[in-house]
């Protein structure tokens, strides 16, 4: 990844990290129910004593195995935040965790970042020595490209993988509902109690929010949504079907702009002079800290002139969702609300 997400011509993996492409991948592998074993505590806290061997088959089709349910877990920040919502805590994290102001990054969710070892905070950073000192028993990350763990540097991956088993779960090439189920299954294998009222209530809220979004899309079939991400020189319009969240929104009936994507098939980069190429009633803008936000591009005349911008119909897009029911339900509600209250401006 380039050191700055505002470079105009980053590599594809760097662009993904910086926020240009909002989904990537190949066909989903092993997307069904979790294949895991291992005992768990009655509390489901993920922190109690457990015995017996543990295994979990990830979305690469790879089976991770340990002699007991892992305790020393290191995970990509967003994955760690999802596990936290199920009561499973990790020892270390890598990925966007702490901002320049010292506060938790948006991708850290409700993690107490003062209680985890930060192995790396930006794309390409992964302190192997720190990782080894944690005596890791399991490494967990999202997967945007087949067989590649998100935010694990390719040049040191072999050494990293030699220290502990890994689990990789799709964040693309699947939909939000399946991504949630897979992470819930992983959490359960690590000790979470999915029948806990807090977790059950969160799932019920997600299901209710899904129904609301479906109804909103049906009631406003002409409302078109554009998925955007901004850099200093380019505006990226992404294809909804390539990311787990927006594919799910599309399946619920939301109408998205369909850009003429590049050869990789995931997004189209537009110069700021051509940012009005596509007509949209609502623009969902990448909310990650590494990319430009609407306030940063307010001075660009072509942006300010877009009908959706003039109508105040620009909303944040949680580009890398924390895949727990608790975190995903509000995302659906927010989009439903935007569609329900939107005006046709395109």
pLDDT in tens, 135-168: 999 999 999 999 999 999 999 999 999 999 999 9
> Per-residue confidence at 2, pLDDT binned at 50, 70, 90?
very low
Strand partners, 302: none
pLDDT of res. 265: 76
Helix, strand, or coil here: 226? Answer: strand
Are the CB atoms for 40 and 192 separated by under 8 Å? yes
pLDDT in tens, 269-310: 999 999 999 999 999 999 998 899 999 999 999 999 999 999
pLDDT over 90 (residue 44): no
CB atoms under 10 Å from CB of 343, counted, come to 13
pLDDT of res. 52: 81
Q: What distances in angstroms separate CA 262 from CA 132, 160, 228, 238, 326, one per listed residue?
A: 40, 33, 15, 10, 35
> Per-residue confidence at 194, pLDDT binned at 50, 70, 90?
very high
Are the CB atoms for 267 and 237 separated by under 8 Å? yes
The model's pTM: 0.85
pLDDT over 80 (residue 36): no
Q: How far apart are CA 67 and CA 86, in angstroms?
A: 23
Strand partners, 333: none
CB atoms under 10 Å from CB of 77, counted, come to 33
Round the CA-based radius of gyration of the chain to a whole number and report it: 20
pLDDT in tens, 233-252: 999 999 999 999 999 999 99
> Per-residue confidence at 50, pLDDT binned at 50, 70, 90?
low
């Amino acid at each position: 990844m380039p050191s700055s997400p505002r470079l105009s011509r980053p590599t594809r993996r760097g662009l993904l990290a910086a926020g240009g492409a909002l989904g990537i991948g190949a066909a989903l592998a092993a997307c069904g129910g979790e294949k895991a074993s291992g005992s768990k505590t009655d509390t489901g806290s993920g922190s109690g004593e457990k015995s017996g061997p543990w295994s979990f088959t990830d979305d690469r089709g790879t089976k991770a195995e340990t002699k007991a349910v892992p305790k020393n877990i290191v995970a990509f920040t967003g994955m760690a935040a999802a596990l936290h919502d199920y009561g499973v805590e990790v020892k270390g994290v890598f990925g966007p965790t702490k901002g320049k102001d010292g506060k938790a990054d948006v991708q850290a969710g409700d993690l107490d970042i003062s209680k985890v070892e930060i192995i790396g905070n930006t794309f390409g950073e992964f302190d192997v020595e720190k990782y080894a000192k944690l005596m890791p028993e399991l490494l967990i990350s999202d997967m945007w490209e087949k067989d590649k763990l998100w935010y694990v540097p390719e040049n040191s991956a072999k050494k990293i993988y030699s220290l502990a088993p890994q689990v990789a779960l799709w964040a693309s090439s699947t939909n939000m509902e399946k991504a949630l189920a897979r992470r819930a299954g992983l959490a359960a294998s690590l000790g979470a109690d999915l029948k806990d009222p807090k977790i059950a209530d969160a799932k019920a809220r997600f299901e209710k929010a899904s129904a609301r979004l479906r109804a909103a899309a049906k009631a406003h079939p002409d409302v078109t949504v554009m998925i955007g991400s901004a850099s200093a020189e380019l505006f990226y319009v992404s294809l909804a079907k390539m990311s787990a969240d927006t594919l799910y929104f599309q399946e619920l009936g939301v109408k998205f702009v369909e850009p003429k994507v590049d050869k990789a098939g995931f997004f189209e980069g537009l110069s700021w002079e051509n940012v009005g190429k596509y007509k949209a009633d609502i623009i969902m803008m990448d909310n990650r800290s590494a990319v430009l936000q609407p306030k940063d591009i307010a001075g660009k005349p072509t942006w300010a002139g877009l009908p959706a911008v003039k109508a105040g119909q620009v909303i944040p897009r949680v580009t890398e969702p924390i895949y727990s029911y608790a975190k995903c339900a509000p995302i659906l509600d927010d989009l439903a609300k935007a569609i329900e209250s939107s005006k046709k401006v395109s």
